[in-house]
Amino acid sequence: MIQPYKKLVLSVAATGTIFGMGTGLAASAADVHAGTNTPHQAIAPVPAADEIVMSEEESVMPASFYSDLQQGKVPGAVVQIGSDLSGLTAKAGDPEAEYDFEGGIRHVYGNYEYGVPYMAPESDGEPVTTVTYHFKEKPTVEEVLRHIESAEKVEDGMDFNYLWYIAEDYEVFFEYQAGSDKIDNVTVKGNFDY
């Protein structure tokens, strides 16, 4: 049975000693025992540091990271797919670098890259059609499959393999080196007609 809160009764000498004031005379053991003599609830033992083992279920990235990806959003990105490049530069300034990649230009901001196609209709401005995040701490293939069970493993026999998740308006793919089990990056790509 849990006991209601009980005020701790200590002698003046004990409170002076505990709080660093007063005479410095120690309270008797009987005084301290009288103030704390109540039934106690057991506390679960705390494992020693060397007894703590990382669970196989623990992840490098939180579950919410994978949940956001399945909704077509890259957590931490300045803008998401469907945004305009002008919105990105207004929020984040000029990119650190730009380079040509698969029919468009990638704009690099730290661990994030935002892809804009060459052939976007002028009425659409410069739409961001891909957002890529390069992992600082790399999750494993097994971790990704644990969080996104419907991801399809694609091994192209070249330098990279992929885990692919396809939704109606976008695709999510995780890229990793052939022969490795660590994911290098993840990209959300809009399925737009350009």
Is there a domain that residue 30 lies in? no
Tokens 């309270």 map to which residue?
27
The model's pLDDT over 96-135, given as tens digits with 9 standing for 90+, comes to 999 999 889 999 999 999 999 987 666 557 899 999 999 9
**10 Å Cβ neighbour count for 113?**
23
Is there a domain that residue 152 lies in? yes
Is there a domain that residue 73 lies in? yes
What are 132's two structure tokens? Answer: 């890529």
Is there a domain that residue 33 lies in? no
State pTM to two decimals. Answer: 0.68
Residues of the chain with pLDDT under 70: 1-58, 120-124, 157, 193-194
Is there a domain that residue 24 lies in? no
Residues 82, 191: Cα–Cα separation, whole Å: 10
Number of domains comprising the chain:
1
Domain span at 71: 63-190
Tokens 């909704």 map to which residue?
71
CATH number at 79 reads 3.40.33.10
